[in-house]
């Protein structure tokens, strides 16, 4: 994050199959999810899924969101990843049945070092950098990220990435 803050990271964009990244991340987490009695499902409907992205960073984005879905779930985890094309965007959603995020905390979860307070329970380790990194990477790809969540019901993160880059970004 410090390197990003100083503007020293240059994304290495190349044509990448985003569905392949999703399948790989899902496969990497499938054993953990199954061991907790849950499922990870994919509904990859996007017809255009080859994008000019930095595959390492986009993989990290997916990994962070799936990892959070697993970490912040107190029951059998149900993680659903779906894609579709919306206008000139590739859209992916990561939906879970975790503990959810309050409206108040949703406003701050993308801030660096912010962690949702959990009282005296410290079962989830971290520095509060994951979602700020996710947002930074999505924005560096000219995309957007949003969250919809309800306490005790789960969260849905929606990422939209442009199908083509603006001329000044190429």
Q: Tell me, what's the pLDDT at 114? A: 57
Structure tokens at 38: 């849950």
What is the separation of C-alpha 139 from the centre of its chain, rounded to a whole number of angstroms? 12
Domains (range + CATH), the chain: 12-169 (3.30.565.10)
Q: How many angstroms separate the most distant Cα atoms in the chain?
A: 50
Distance CA 137, CA 145 (A): 10
Q: What is the pLDDT of residues 77-132, one digit of tens each?
A: 999 999 999 999 999 999 999 999 888 888 877 777 656 655 444 455 454 467 88
Q: Tell me, what's the pLDDT at 78? A: 98
More confident residue, 109 or 30: 30
Distance CA 27, CA 42 (A): 11
The DSSP annotation for 43-59 comes to: EE--S--EEEE-HHHHH
User: Binning pLDDT at 50, 70 and 90, where does residue 142 land?
Assistant: very high
Give, as one character, the DSSP assignment of residue 169. G
Distance CA 48, CA 115 (A): 35
Q: Which stretches does DSSP call E strand in the chain? A: 14-17, 39-44, 50-53, 78-86, 89-95, 144-150, 154-162
Q: CA–CA distance from 34 to each of 21, 22, 123, 156 (Å)? A: 20, 17, 20, 20
Distance CA 125, CA 86 (A): 36
- Reply yes or no on whether the pLDDT at 6 is more than 80: no
Q: CA–CA distance from 33 to each of 64, 101, 124, 159 (Å)? A: 15, 21, 16, 22
Distance CA 82, CA 157 (A): 11
């Amino acid at each position: 994050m410090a390197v990003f803050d100083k503007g020293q990271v240059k994304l290495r964009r190349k044509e990448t199959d985003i569905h392949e990244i999703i399948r790989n991340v899902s496969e990497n987490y499938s054993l953990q999810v199954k061991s907790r009695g849950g499922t990870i499902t994919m509904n990859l409907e996007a017809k255009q899924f080859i994008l000019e992205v930095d595959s390492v960073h986009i993989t990290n984005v997916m990994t962070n969101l799936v990892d959070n879905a697993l970490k912040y779930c107190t029951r059998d985890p149900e993680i659903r990843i779906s894609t579709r094309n919306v206008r000139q965007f590739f859209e992916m959603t990561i939906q879970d049945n975790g503990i959810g995020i309050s409206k108040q905390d949703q406003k701050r979860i993308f801030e660096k070092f912010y962690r949702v307070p959990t009282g005296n329970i410290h079962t989830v380790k971290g520095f509060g950098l994951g979602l700020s990194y996710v947002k930074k990477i999505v924005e560096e790809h000219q995309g957007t990220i949003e969250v919809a969540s309800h306490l005790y019901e789960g969260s849905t993160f929606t990422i939209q990435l442009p199908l083509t880059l603006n001329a000044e970004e190429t």
